[in-house]
Chain A
Amino acid sequence: MARVVATPAAIEAVDRLRAGEGPVMFFQSGGCCDGSLPICFHDGEFVIGSHDVHLGTVAASPFYIDHRQFEAWKHTQLILDVGTGDPEGFSLAAGDGRHFITRSRVLTGPEQAALEGTGTPGVH
């Protein structure tokens, strides 16, 4: 059980990205325009604060979220996937003409209990 997982298409896209661009990181955005999308950066491009929450690691890449947003989202599992179209904001693309997206699944009671205590602050 993990707070964030990735589809095979997303894993393949991240692997290809890593091979071409080097290590990457994800930050789950929220609000406005491109909000609710996972933003993919070169690793270290986005400064992780001491209150940001590390949700997990997908395709060898760390995945973070704002701590306030974590409180509102923690009953759901995030599923990193790939959609059609260039990224609209500052994110790296998931391949030519493709972008990363986050799908969500509501966790069951036992799943939420199993994840209690995970999702820890700071850089990982």
Chain B
Amino acid sequence: MASVTYEHVTKRFGNVVAVNDLNIHIEDKEFLVLVGPSGCGKTTSLRLIAGLEEITEGRILIGDRVVNDIPPKDRDIAMVFQSYALYPHMSVFDNMAFGLKLRKVPKAEIKRRVQEAAEILGIEELLDRKPRQLSGGQRQRVAVGRAIVREPKVFLFDEPLSNLDAKLRVQTRAEISKLHLRLQTTFIYVTHDQVEAMTMATRIAVMKDGILQQLDSPQSLYDYPANVFVAGFIGSPAMNFFNARLVRGDGGLVVDAGTFQVPVPASLLERYAAYEGKNVIFGIRPEDIHDPAFTPPDISAATVEANVEVLEPMGNEVILYLSSDSHSFGGRVDPRSQARPGSKMQVIFNMDNMHLFETDGDQKAIR
């Protein structure tokens, strides 16, 4: 059990900067998820902790020990790989016992720990099998088991669910969360799937092009994205963005997106006052777009006329693909909605949950 700290960590491969001045302090017992699109440096960041890559600049601390020059085997970490990396010539038992044997743990103790881990993961019957005789889900469990028996200070996960089918992925997600509660150890988890990040993490670090974009709890990340990238990455379907201008309207500010004008609610006037007359990016999540017939009460409603392009009924909701002029956007509305493809309809924006971003540079959220 230990905290992990990145201090101004940079990793370069030749001229390519994979990780750029990364600063994160991960608390003991935290479940931190590194998330971002492929090539964003999240896996490299994880491999830096493991010691599988050398740090170009900066320091990494596990607990209060600088580990820059400590080989992987002495860092007291365990890692679950995307491909599971089970030793093909060893039985499941030997796979899990390998690390303990190398550490000269007494035989009886090895047996006890492997047995215990196997029980936690429900793989007691598989201990004599070879990896090739296992299904994908079972291999994944063995890989986790191999990490558990070591009782390391930090668990590292590198996209461990990406080789599982959708149903198993959801199930295993919950099991890893349970495991975290049970083991009370620091988990650092890399994924490109924002749903995995949202469901499991205590905090999420969103990365892009080697740079940390935002580090926050899942709910804060969803409610207060720091910039357009994070706003678009977290949440599914993604947030809608419109290029707009903040103008003075009757008694307040109005977001003028060209094809439609929507008023800024009174509670937000103060926050956006400084941007009057300026170009902004207006963001609104699909779940904040409603069918007029099923609009919840007590929201700052703004009506926008849109064409219905496509309709995706999901049972519990309907995903609408809408357009206003040439601009497409999506809505998640009540399943009883009478919207029909090809027709025009009024949709309601819940302006209480609107977002505005700067148009230049990092497209930061306006706070």
Partners in one complex: no
**B interface vs A, CB < 8 Å?**
none
A residues at B contact (CB < 8 Å): none
